[in-house]
Structure 1
Amino acid sequence: MIPALFGQTPMGEWRLFTPPGKAIDITASSTHVYAALENGLLEREIDGAEKYLWTAANNLSDIDLSTVHYDATSQTLFIGYANGNLDLIKNNTVYNIPALLLANISGNKRYNTFTSSDGFVYAATGVGIIKFDPVKQEVRDTYFPFPTTTAIMDVAFKGDTIFALAGDRVRYGNKNNIALADYTQWNDYTLIPTASGGSYHSLLNKNGRLLLQFDSDTNFEDTLFIQEGSIFSPFNALLDKEIKSVSLSGENLLISTEGTLYELDADFNQVDIVFQYSEGEYAYPNNAVKPGEDYYIADNNNGLVKARNSFSHEKIRVPGPSSNSYYRLTWEGGKLAVAGGGLSGNQATYNTAGVYLFEDEEWVGINLMNQPEMAVNTWDILSVSVDPNNIDHVVFGTQSGRGLFEVTDGQNIAEWFDENNSLLELTTLGNNMYAVPEVFFDNSSNLWIAQSYSNLPLKVKTKDNAWYEFDLGAPMKSKAITDLAIDFNGIKWVAASGSGVVAFNDNGTIEDPSDDSFKRLTMGEGLGNLPSNIVRSICVDYNNDIWFGTEAGLAILYSADNITEATAGQYDAQQILIQVDEFVEILLGESVITKIVIDGGNRKWIGTEASGVFLLSPDGREEIYRFTAENSPLISNNILDIAIDQNTGEVFFATDKGLVSFRSDASEGDPEFNSVKVFPNPVRPDFTGPVTIQGLAYNSDVKVTDSGGNLVYQTQSNGGTATWNGKTLQGERAKSGVYLIWTADPSGKGRKVGKVVFIN
Structure 2
Amino acid sequence: MRNLIIKRLSIIIYYLITLISIQAQHAIGEWNTYLSYNNITYSEPAEDNILYVIGNGALFAYDSEDTSIRTYYKSNPLSDSNISKIAYNKAYHTLVITYSNANIDLLINGEDVYNLSEYMNKNVSLDKTINNISFFNEYAYLSTSFGILAINLKKKEISNAYILNKKVNDCFIKDDSIYIATTEGVYAALLSNNLLDINNWKKISQHIYTYLKNYDSKIIGYIENEGIFNVQLDNYSTSQLVKGEFLYMNIYANKLIVGNKNKALLFQNNLSYQNVSLTKEINHLSYLNNSYWGSYGDIGLIAQKYNQTSGLLEDISSPIMPNSPKRNLFHYMTFTKDNRLLVAGGSLNYAKVINPGTIMIYDHDEWMSFQEKNIDELTGFKYVNITSIVEDPNDPNHHFAASARHGLYEFHNRKFTKLYNIDNSELQSIFITDPNYVSTNGLIYDKKDNLWLVNNCTSSIIKVIKSDGSWVKLEIPEIERIETFEHMMFDRRGWLWINAMWDNRAYDIPGFFCLNYNNTLEDQSDDKSKFIRSIPNQDGNLITIGHCYCIVEDKEGSIWIGTDKGPLILNNPSRIFNDNFYCTQIKIPRNDGSNLADFLLANDHIITICIDGANRKWIGTKENGVYLLSEDGQETIHHFTKENSPLLSNDITSIVIHPKTGEVFIGTSHGLNSYQNDAIEAGETFADDIYAYPNPVKSDYNGVITVTGLVRDSNVKITTVNGSLVYQGVSLGGQFIWDGKNREGKKVSSGIYMVLAADKEGKEGVATKIIVIR
1:231 aligned to 2:243? no
Q: Secondary structure at the match of 1:437?
A: strand
TM-score normalized by structure 2? 0.87
Q: Does residue 576 in structure 1 map to residue 601 in structure 2?
A: no
Distance 1:431 1:376 in 2: 12
CA contact 2:285–2:292 (8 Å) conserved in 1 = no
Counterpart AA for 1:203: L
Tell me if structure 2 keeps the 8 A contact 1:528–1:572.
no
Shift in alpha-carbon separation, 1:579–1:228, aligned structure 2, 3 A = closer
| Match 1:255 to one of 255, 258, 278 | 258
Structure 2 counterpart of 1:4: none
Q: Deviations over 1:139-197 (max 9, x none)?
A: 222223x3x2x2322221111121112235221111232x101111111122x6x44xx
Q: Which residue number in structure 2 is paired with residue 397 of structure 1?
A: 402
1:335 aligns with 2:340: yes
Q: Which residue of 1 aligns with 2:477?
A: 473
Label 1:124 to 1:181 Cα distance change in 2 as closer, same or farther (>3 A).
same
Q: List aligned pairs for 1:276-291, cutoff 5 A.
A: 276=279, 282-288=280-286, 290-291=287-288
Conservation of the 8 A alpha-carbon contact between 1:69 and 1:114 = yes
Aligned-pair CA distance for 1:354: 1.9
Instruction: Give the AA of the match of 2:177.
Output: T
- Alignment match, 1:183: 198
- Inter-CA distance 111–730: structure 2 relative to 1 (3 Å threshold): farther
Among 479, 482, 487, the alignment partner of 1:483 is 487
CA separation in 2, counterparts of 1:640 and 1:426? 27
Matches for 1:300-319 after TM superposition, within 5 Å: 300-308=297-305, 309-319=313-323
Map 1:580-729 to 2 at 5 A: 580-581=590-591, 582-670=595-683, 671-674=685-688, 676=690, 678-706=692-720, 709-729=723-743
For residues 71 and 360 of structure 1, the distance between their equivalents in structure 2, rounded to whole angstroms, comes to 38
Deviation at 1:460, TM superposition (A): 1.2
Closer/same/farther in 2, CA of residues 94 and 676 from structure 1, 3 Å limit: farther
**1:724 and 1:50, CA in 2 relative to 1: closer, same or farther beyond 3 A?**
farther
Q: Which amino acid aligns with 2:423?
A: N
CA–CA distance in 2 between the matches of 1:592 and 1:320? 30
Tell me if the contact between 1:387 and 1:393 (Cα under 8 Å) persists in the aligned partners.
yes
Displacement of 1:311 in angstroms is 2.9
Q: Give, in whole Å, the separation in 2 of the partners of 1:535 and 1:429.
A: 27
User: How many residues are matched?
Assistant: 724
Asked if 2 retains the 8 angstrom alpha-carbon contact of 1:553 and 1:593, the reply is yes
Distance 1:515 1:155, change over 3 A: same
Cα 1:210/1:755, change in 2 over 3 Å: farther
Counterpart position of 2:31: 14
- Structure 1 residue matching 2:85: 3-state secondary structure: strand
Q: For the aligned residues, what is the CA RMSD?
A: 2.8
TM-score by length of structure 1 reads: 0.88
Matched, 1:214 2:223: yes
The answer to whether the 8 Å contact 1:112/1:125 transfers is: yes
CA distance in structure 1 between the partners assigned to 2:141 and 2:574 by the alignment: 67
Instruction: Describe the superposition over 1:298-353 as per-residue Cα deviations: whole angstroms up to 9, x where unpaired.
Output: 44333443334523223222222112233222222312222212254x62533214
Kindly provide the amino acid, as one letter, of the partner of residue 595 in structure 1: T
1:208, distance to aligned residue in structure 2 (A): 1.1
**Per the alignment, in what secondary structure is the counterpart of residue 318 of structure 2?**
strand
Map 1:193-592 onto structure 2 (within 5 A).
194-195=207-208, 200-216=209-225, 223-227=227-231, 230-236=236-242, 239-240=243-244, 242-270=245-273, 273=276, 275-276=278-279, 282-288=280-286, 290-308=287-305, 309-333=313-337, 334-342=339-347, 344=349, 347-369=351-373, 371=375, 373=378, 376-400=381-405, 402-409=406-413, 411-428=414-431, 430-432=433-435, 433-496=437-500, 497=502, 498=509, 500-525=511-536, 531-532=544-545, 534-561=547-574, 563=576, 566-569=577-580, 571-581=581-591, 582-592=595-605
Pair 1:151–1:349, CA change in 2 (3 A):
same
- Equivalent residue for 2:190? 174
Give the deviation of 1:754 after TM superposition: 4.5
Name the structure 2 match of 1:80.
98
8 Å contact from structure 2 (residues 303, 315) kept in 1: no
Displacement of 1:504 in angstroms is: 0.7
Percent of residue pairs identical: 27
Q: Deviations over 1:496-516 (max 9, x none)?
A: 353532211121222333332
Q: Given that residues 21 and 300 in structure 1 are in contact (C-alpha distance below 8 angstroms), is that contact kept between their aligned partners in structure 2?
A: yes
Measured after TM superposition, the shift of residue 575 of structure 1 is 1.7
Alignment of structure 1 residues 90-239 onto 2, 5 Å: 90-91=108-109, 92-144=111-163, 146=164, 148=165, 150-177=166-193, 179-190=194-205, 194-195=207-208, 200-216=209-225, 223-227=227-231, 230-236=236-242, 239=243
Rounded Cα–Cα distance in structure 1 between residues aligned with 2:644 and 2:764: 40
Q: Do 1:338 and 1:355's aligned partners in 2 also have CA atoms closer than 8 Å? A: yes
SS of 1:100's partner is helix
Q: Aligned partners of 2:640 and 2:519: how far apart in 1?
A: 41
* 8 Å Cα contact 2:37-2:59 kept in structure 1: no
Change in CA separation of 1:275 and 1:336 when aligned onto 2, cut-off 3 Å: same
Name the counterpart of 2:16: none
> 1:66: how far off?
1.1
Work out the CA distance in 1 between the residues paired with 2:359 and 2:681: 26
Superposed CA deviations along residues 266-309 of structure 1, whole A, max 9, x for unmatched, are 23344695835xxxxx2413352x23133334443334433345
The residue type equivalent to 1:70 in the other structure is: Y
Deviations 1:375-395 (A, max 9, x none): 733321122223445443322
The letter of the residue matching 2:64 is I
Take 1:176 and 1:11, find their aligned partners in 2: how far apart are those partners?
A: 56
Change over 3 Å in CA distance of 1:39–1:733 after alignment to 2: farther
8 Å CA contact 2:330–2:344 kept in 1: the answer is yes
Aligned-residue offset at 1:261: 4.3
* CA deviation map 1:15-50 (0-9, x unaligned): 332211123433232232211333432022232133
Contact 1:676 1:695 in 2 (8 A): yes
Question: Are the counterparts in 2 of residues 429 and 453 from structure 1 also a CA contact under 8 Å?
Answer: no
- 1:89 correspondence with 2:104: no
- Structure 2 CA distance for aligned equivalents of residues 98 and 315 of structure 1: 35
Unmatched tracts of structure 1, length 5 or more: 1-6, 217-221, 277-281
Please give the alpha-carbon distance, in whole angstroms, between the structure 1 residues aligned to 2:585 and 2:124.
Answer: 43
Q: Does the CA contact (< 8 Å) of 1:531 and 1:555 recur in 2?
A: no
CA contact (8 A) 1:124 1:152 kept: yes
Q: Secondary structure at the match of 1:315?
A: coil
* Distance of aligned partners of 1:458 and 1:261 in 2 relative to their CA distance in 1, 3 Å threshold: same
Secondary structure of the 2:530 match is: strand
Q: 1:734 to 1:390 in 2, by over 3 A?
A: farther
Q: Give the structure 1 partner of residue 6 of structure 2.
A: none
Q: Is the 8 A contact 2:42 2:283 kept in 1?
A: no
Give the letter for the 1:186 counterpart.
W
Distance 2:716 2:761 in 1: 13
What residue is the counterpart of 1:279 in the other structure?
A: none
How far did residue 464 of structure 1 move? Answer: 2.2
* Structure 1 residue identity aligned to 2:329: S
Question: 1:170 and 1:476 mapped to 2: Cα distance?
Answer: 62
